[in-house]
Amino acid sequence: MGICRLSLLTSGAVMPSSDAAQRVRYDVPHRLPGLQRRKRYLISKYTDACDLSTRASSAAQSTAPSPDIDWDSLGFGLANVADTMYVASIEADGTEWSGNLQPYGPLQLDPSAQVLNYGQSVFEGMKAQRTAEGHIVLFRPDCNAERMQEGAKRLSMVAPSTEQFVSAVEDVVRANASMVPPLGKGALYLRPLLMGTGPILGLGPAPSYTFCIYCAAVGSYFKGGQLSPIHLKVDTEFHRSAPRGMGGTKAAGNYSPVLVTQLAAKKEGYSDVVYLDAKHDKYLEEVSSCNIFVKHGNVISTPPISGSILPGVTRRSVIELARSKGYEVKEEPVSIESAMEADEIFTTGTAVVLSAVGSLTYKGTRRDFGENGEPTATALELYESLTGLQQERIPDTFGWIHKVC
């Protein structure tokens, strides 16, 4: 049996660092001063904690999908969470992140952690997919890194550089390559998460930060399936965000407030909720978890990035893709009246990809789009082009595909 050495991360967390493959647990006297306890974390419920580098190397050599998963029955959740995650830390005044791959499991935080008290947290959503060329790829990961950096700046946090971000995501994908579904069966959804985990009592930025990436094999976000049109209800009671507020930041705190209306709408049979702007209460902003597009003739309109809606990576890509196909794309305010008279509506996002809207309901009036149960023409065209590019079924003339292995 090997000797399991300890390495001290900058956050104060003690992590196993030998080649021993064993459960490790360190007992810490309860009465040690708080900051000292933080430097001697209990490391429990982790197995094979010291041989992840070897496992990551093996995964890179054998990337076939796991035979233990029913790839035809994937939902969008944690039923097939991957075994390995990445965790790194840094002091607020530090210059280098210290991190490694670890078995997926609990993160230990003090009750006084900034994120638990004042909410310093931003996250990203990404996917790794298999392609027709036999590769495992990411889609524009540099854009996710840049958006996390912008969110961190807004919340006064320390963020990893683009190089550090992308490298860590690649490591997680390689270590969990067997969890990437077969071509066309789904994707490995990745959740990079940045948190202010250092302890603090008064309001202020955290003294240290944690950057974590975990992942899970997923299928369609909406229950009806990827190509089934979704049904949206326009909310007239709440607003998602306000001008000059936080709506354009992928902060954790932006999402739970939508649940009260989203859950109520789902009970009524809707897929999700569309929010209007807070100033005029008449212009579309976005859906709970995705951006929205409205088509009239050859013109596709989408709400502009003005600080109250999320600058989606898929949104940005679909705008460029649609323009390359000859559509006139306008980033402009879209009134609810215009949306109710549109030829088509569709939504975009990493999780939802691109979903046609089958109906939009506003103050009890429902407008249907397309044939019942079938995606509308432009939505299907752009979906096929986007996923064809992401899966290397068509040439990537934009340079968006990032090959991992």
Q: Which residues have C-beta within 8 Å of that of residue 214, sequence separation ≥ 6?
A: 81, 82, 85, 86, 104, 172, 190, 191, 193
What is the sign, positive or negative, of the torsion defined by CA atoms of 234, 237, 243, 246? Answer: negative
Buried b (16+ CB within 10 A) or exposed e, 284-311: bbbbbbbbbbbbbeeebbbbeeeebbbb
Catalytic: which of 153, 250, 295, 330?
250
For residue 207, count CB atoms less than 10 angstroms from its CB and return exposed for 0-12, middle for 13-18, buried for 19 or more: middle
DSSP 371-401: STTS--HHHHHHHHHHHHHHTTSS--SS--E
Alpha-carbon span 173 to 179, nearest angstrom: 9
Alpha-carbon span 96 to 164, nearest angstrom: 10
Q: Which residues have C-beta within 8 Å of that of residue 111, sequence separation ≥ 6?
A: none
As beta bridge partners, residue 251 has 122
For residue 146, count CB atoms less than 10 angstroms from its CB and return exposed for 0-12, middle for 13-18, buried for 19 or more: middle
- Annotated catalytic residue 363: no
Residues marked active site are found at 250
